[in-house]
Amino acid sequence: MGYRYANTVLLLLPDSALKADSRIAANECGLDIWEADCATDLIGAPYFLAIVDPTLVSEHEWADFCEYLKDSTDTDTKVMLSAHTSTTNVLPGPNRLKQCNTDVATLKFTMLRLRAIVAKRRASYERVESRIVRIMWMARELQSAGGLRLRDAAKEFQTSVRTIQRDIEVLEMAGYMIFDGHERGTYLMDSGQVGG
């Protein structure tokens, strides 16, 4: 089975009611469950939510995990603790959820809410990545002999002509000299030009 970050809940729990409830909640939400058997899974496994009993992890391993979270820029990954110990205080705030002694319905709500946040952020990243790819492609087309046709670019990227025009404006703000081509709706750029 292929685990994906945005669809996986990691469980590092002893056999308990919380572990059983977590499994039920994850299954009802259509989420994959990673049954961790060691502390390194906290760093190596893909998950958006870890439900952890910190007493199963040595102080040294817990400190390493917390340091990993501090160094990470990922604030979407959340850790829910089944118990409070003196070592849990070092868990970075953006990644920490309240202690969980809760029921299936509350676990389901938490899982679905966090997955929605992750999905929204991922969609935002994908839009930015798509725009970068589109603008780089447009810069190359603008330097070609035929130039860039607005309608062709819009069709290529399944977007509107207005979106392509906005992307041309971005290239102009970046210092590229773009001018009208010979045909209406066509733009060109000097093939020797370097932006900036």
pLDDT in tens, 159-170: 999 999 999 999
Q: Which of 90, 20, 22 is nearest to 54 (CA)?
A: 90
* For the ranges 81-85, 92-96, 190-194, the one whose mean pLDDT is highest: 81-85
Residue 196 pLDDT grade (very low, low, confident, very high; cuts 50, 70, 90): very low
CATH of domain 126-189: 1.10.10.10
Sequence ranges of the domains in the chain = 5-102, 126-189
- Give tens-digit pLDDT for 103-156: 788 888 888 888 888 888 888 989 999 999 999 999 999 988 788 999 999 999
Q: With contact defined as beta carbons under 8 Å apart, do 108 and 25 qualify?
A: yes
Mention every residue, 6+ apart, whose C-beta is less than 8 A from residue 154: 160, 161, 163, 164
| Gap between the Cα atoms of 196 and 193, Å rounded | 10
Long-range CB contact pairs, 174-180, < 8 A, 24+: 176/139, 176/142, 178/142
Residue 23 pLDDT grade (very low, low, confident, very high; cuts 50, 70, 90): very high
What is the model's pTM? 0.66
pLDDT given at position 87:
60
Looking at domain 5-102, which CATH architecture does it have? 3-Layer(aba) Sandwich (3.40)
